[in-house]
Amino acid sequence: MELKERFLKYVAFDTQSDPGSETFPSTAKQLALLNHLMEEMIGLGLTEVEIDPNGYVMGSIPASPGYEDKPVIGFISHVDTSPDMKGAEIRPQVIGHYDGGDIVLNGELVMRVAEFPELAFFKGHTLITTDGTTLLGADDKAGVAEIMTAAEYLMTHPEWKHGKIRIGFTPDEEIGRGVDFFDVERFGARFAYTVDGGFEGELEYENFNAAGVKITIQGRNIHPGYAKDKMINALQVACDLHALLPAVQRPEHTEGYEGFYHLTSLSGTVEQARMEYIVRDHSRERFEAKKKYLADAVALLAERYGEGVVSLEIWDQYYNMREMVEPYPEVIAKAEQAMEMAGVVPVIRPIRGGTDGARLSYMGLPCPNLFTGGMNFHGKYEYCSLDTMYKAVQTILNLAKLWGE
């Protein structure tokens, strides 16, 4: 199956995850694609193909004869799409030989080069965009399609020598639960790569340290005409709290290694309000300082408004994988070499987010992240370059060969 056909087939599956769900996977519809991938892997002749009770799909490309003693490496991608944008009824648009200009997504929405200047890089490429009403699902079905296309090539080209290769597909990455039940020992790889990056050449082994935050504010509602010295407006307390956090440390004002506080949800009434934040920073020291600053802000408001008005719940989600990957420089060196062999210029920079690989690295499976060719994830401006996707496939194939030498 051709890469484009495979990708378009996968994005037709609605696999949106749900952070409010208590099941695993968080949505049953993810299992439709996961089961399809299992059947496709079996059809391609992969061995040890299975789907476990939690929805993880694993399979093996056997080592070339005489290469059984080479290190086992893995490639991993997630099937779920972000809950931030509609992921059903996706209608992709294919633009052949992109001319470098603005892209009309529909009669009301245009993706303008002035707002997305990286489009200039893709002049001459075949692009796949949304129709402006949904996300595309390149995050991470581009990675899934690239791994499966590489697997098909390896299974049909025995002249391409390699050691044993493990493939894994996970649910619920977008809501931070992607490897909650991933069996690293059963996967059995010495090293792995998530194929879940974006721009061509991205090679990432630094990611945010991450925490989730829930704040509950219990107000006291009194008729506003008689509220003096009595009312505690929960919504006003929420505003006070947000104002205490540094405005320059919001996502819209940060880049590179700069961390942030991000208010992701605010709801409520005068009587009660709820806030949700995510806290991010590449530096563990600054990460811990951010959490303390937030806790101190809550304590200040508790002192101002009284005991029981503001309650804070904060938990760590994942950590920067750098300290787990750096002891194995060959993992990065081979990825750089594989990209260069594919005609790609490696771009090593920190992930301003997280991947399954971050947590897997702390679970004993060093796992940097490779580019996919997808851009503007999680929204209606999402697109991917088919040309870059082919280079990602070639990078995977080159890694298979390099680890077999």
Edge-to-edge strands of the sheet including 57-61? 47-51, 57-61, 165-170, 73-78, 191-195, 369-370, 202-204, 347-348
Q: Please, are residues 161 and 322 in contact by the beta-carbon 8 Å criterion? A: no
Taking the CB of residue 20, how many other CB atoms lie within 10 A of it? 7
- Residue 140: cis peptide before it, omega within 30 degrees of 0: yes
**3-class SS of residue 242:** helix
Q: Residue 243: enclosing H or E segment and its boundaries?
A: helix 234-244
Q: Alpha-carbon distance 338 to 248, whole Å? A: 39
Tokens of 232: 């505690």
3-state secondary structure 189-210: CCEEEEECCCCCCEEECCCCEE
**3-class SS of residue 239:** helix
CA-wise closest residue to 194 among 15, 395, 401, 404:
395
Q: Please, are residues 335 and 347 in contact by the beta-carbon 8 Å criterion? A: no
* H-only helix segments in 125-176: 138-156
| Residues taking part in catalysis | 80, 173
